[in-house]
Copies of this chain bind each other. A is one copy, B any other.
Amino acid sequence: MSRSGTGRGRGTGRATLGEVAQAAGVSTMTASRTLSQPELVTEATRARVEQAVQALGYVPNRAARALASNRSRVIVALVPSLSNAVFTAVLDGIQDAVDASQYQLLIGITHYSDAEEEKLLRTYLQSDPDGILLPGLSHSAGVRSMLETLSVPVVAMMDLAASPDTLSVGFSQSEAGMALTRHLLAKGYRRIAFVGAQLDERTLRRADGWRQAMQEAGLFDARLEIMTPEPSTVALGAALMQRVLAGLPDCDAVFFCNDDLAHGAIFHCQRAGIPVPGRIAVAGFNDLPASSLMVPSLTTVDTPRYQVGYQAASLLLDTIAGKLPKARRIDLGFTLREREST
């Protein structure tokens, strides 16, 4: 015997579309159509169905819809970290774009690990996503082959693809690195160090930009490049600044790959009584909220991360909908913020 007198068998106990249809005196498929394509139905029918929906508190079952329609209406977004304010802004942009659609967003945190990225993607394939948002351009062979097999649209975020085969929304990390370095050169700094942490793809591209600008100026010196795989934090920035001051006494400016490192560096100098930029200039990247307010205010590069998320998600949704995008590679640019610290 069924567990209740409603005849719902092993169901959820919630109203089904069939029950809505019955209450409205129409067939299930007419009820279905009323919800998905109301313009194909008489006004009278629509009213009766909508009333039944209200009366029964009907909530459509996504799993059934996905299974029957063979469209999951799911998109997956992978980001490296939530601790990095850059990616929370990207996610905010994605959310806002997706919220306006019928799509459901599945968020995965890769912790900057290729292996985790691959594992997450594999798990999320169970939800049969209609599209995917990924950070950056470089992925493991496993991820690349999964994406090929899948044949759903993929949009790369935060950098620009070289090939037009890849949909991408972002800005040139290397040009931004170059622009900031050139600013420092123009200010007269000569021994400009680059300090990179985490060593994700974007940091490496910024380092490329720094290297190129230094080479162009005839001032490149490999000893000025300080790289560590440790996660980028304020505390690490303080420690690395100490290391620069001790190990590179003639260094007159430091380009930190992220603002949080630069904040730590400035705090360290402040505590040690080292004038910034008098003794040494400090620049960061991303223009985090504190950067314009701290003392000295921080020279940095403002990046359009919310827009990256918003536009990447919009591009993905448009592509899923079969619209031909105006551009397959959307360059949102960046803005140099010259402040007191340089």
Contact surface of A with B, Cβ cutoff 8 Å: 10-12, 14, 57, 59-64, 66-67, 70, 72, 82-83, 85, 88-89, 91-92, 95, 104-107, 109, 122, 125-128, 149, 233-235, 238, 260, 263-264, 267-268, 270-271, 289-290, 292-295
Which chain B residues lie closer than 8 Å to A109 at the CB level?
Answer: 92, 95
Which chain B residues lie closer than 8 Å to A235 at the CB level?
Answer: 289, 292-293
Q: Is the CB of B126 within 8 A of A62?
A: yes
Q: Is the CB of B106 within 8 A of A104?
A: yes
A60 to B128, CA, bound (A): 9
A183 to B290, CA, bound (A): 27
CB of A291 to closest CB in B, whole Å: 9
A235 to B290, CA, bound (A): 8
Which chain B residues lie closer than 8 Å to A268 at the CB level?
Answer: 293
Q: Which of A95, A235, A293 has the most CB of B within 10 A?
A: A293
Which chain B residues lie closer than 8 Å to A126 at the CB level?
Answer: 59-62
CB of A69 to closest CB in B, whole Å: 9
What are 15 A-B pairs with beta-carbon distances under 8 A? A11-B70, A12-B70, A14-B128, A59-B122, A61-B126, A61-B128, A62-B63, A63-B72, A63-B128, A82-B89, A82-B91, A82-B92, A83-B85, A107-B107, A263-B290
Q: Is the CB of B127 within 8 A of A62?
A: yes
A61 to B67, CA, bound (A): 9
CB of A131 to closest CB in B, whole Å: 15
CB of A158 to closest CB in B, whole Å: 16
A269 to B292, CA, bound (A): 15
| Known contacts A61-B126, A293-B267; A83/B72 CB under 8 A | no
Q: Is the CB of A267 within 8 A of B238?
A: no
Q: Is the CB of B295 within 8 A of A267?
A: yes
CB of A156 to closest CB in B, whole Å: 21
A91 to B81, CA, bound (A): 11
Other A-B pairs, 19, CB within 8 Å; known A12-B128, A59-B122, A235-B289: A62-B63, A62-B126, A63-B64, A63-B127, A82-B82, A82-B92, A83-B89, A85-B85, A104-B127, A105-B107, A107-B107, A234-B289, A235-B292, A260-B290, A263-B290, A264-B290, A267-B290, A267-B293, A268-B293
A58 to B271, CA, bound (A): 59
